[in-house]
Chain A
Amino acid sequence: SQKIEQNSEALNIQEGKTATLTCNYTNYSPAYLQWYRQDPGRGPVFLLLIRENEKEKRKERLKVTFDTTLKQSLFHITASQPADSATYLCAPQRFGTDKLIFGTGTRLQVFP
């Protein structure tokens, strides 16, 4: 069956460092992979989408990679700030469907 796994443990890093979050999937052939941010008690907010034919995508301090051979996406936040503290969710997405199935989520805590 399909499985989407993210770092299950919370990730604690110091302000200014780069945070790297992992998303692994099995029994899946996504055409896209999306990353969302969720703050407590709120709905997720879209961050980035990367396509299967793209190796890397950047947006300001964010960088996403997509390795379809390893079935893995990495999400990087450079020069992290306490305001980046949140839960980050990945969602591999098949072509032709709007349905999003989310990974387990990784809670990131950036401390001063």
Chain B
Amino acid sequence: GAVVSQHPSWVICKSGTSVKIECRSLDFQATTMFWYRQFPKQSLMLMATSNEGSKATYEQGVEKDKFLINHASLTLSTLTVTSAHPEDSSFYICSTVQGTEAFFGQGTRLTVV
């Protein structure tokens, strides 16, 4: 199956700064990638769908200016959390689909202090 590499696995940043998370599809050309957020003891919440070469599609309630998504190539999608605040602290994870099966990155634990 597809191999998805996400980086960094964890990051601590100061409030007000921006953080970029990268998601690479290592052996598969991913025209679409999905970004999820997961708070402790909660399920994965879909934030947005990243489309190669076009604008991302955001789920209701997700601020597109705060969570910037770029999918410039078939192997790389990035999520930038801009002007991060403590409430943005969460586990962010990307996935791509090959066939019907979703393959996930390792996730990024973001802590905003």
Residues of A bordering B, CB below 8 Å:
32, 34, 36, 41-46, 49, 89, 93, 98-105
Closest to A45 in B: B104
Q: Flag if B43 contacts A100 (CB, 8 Å).
A: no
Bound state CA distance, A44 and B46, in angstroms? 13
* Interface flags, B30-50, vs A, CB<8A=1, else 0: 001010000000111010010
Residues of B bordering A, CB below 8 Å:
1, 4, 6, 32, 34, 42-44, 46, 49, 91, 93, 95, 97, 100-107, 109
Contacts of A93 in B (CB 8 A): 100
> Assuming the A-B contacts A99-B46, A103-B43, are A46 and B102 also in contact, with contact meaning beta carbons closer than 8 angstroms in the complex?
yes
Q: Flag if B101 contacts A49 (CB, 8 Å).
A: yes
Give the residue among B43, B49, B103 with the most A Cβ atoms within 10 A: B43
Interface of A, secondary structure class, is: loop
Contacts of B107 in A (CB 8 A): 41-43
Contact of B104 (CB < 8 Å), options: A41, A44, A98, A104? A44
Give the residue among B1, B93, B100 with the most A Cβ atoms within 10 A: B100
Bound state CA distance, A4 and B51, in angstroms? 26
Contact of B34 (CB < 8 Å), options: A34, A100, A104, A105? A100
> Assuming the A-B contacts A34-B100, A43-B104, A49-B101, are A104 and B46 also in contact, with contact meaning beta carbons closer than 8 angstroms in the complex?
no
Bound state CA distance, A32 and B97, in angstroms? 14
Closest to B33 in A: A98
Q: Flag if A100 contacts B46 (CB, 8 Å).
A: yes
CB of A48, distance to nearest CB on chain B (Å): 10
CB of A92, distance to nearest CB on chain B (Å): 13
Contacts of B102 in A (CB 8 A): 34, 36, 44, 46, 98, 100
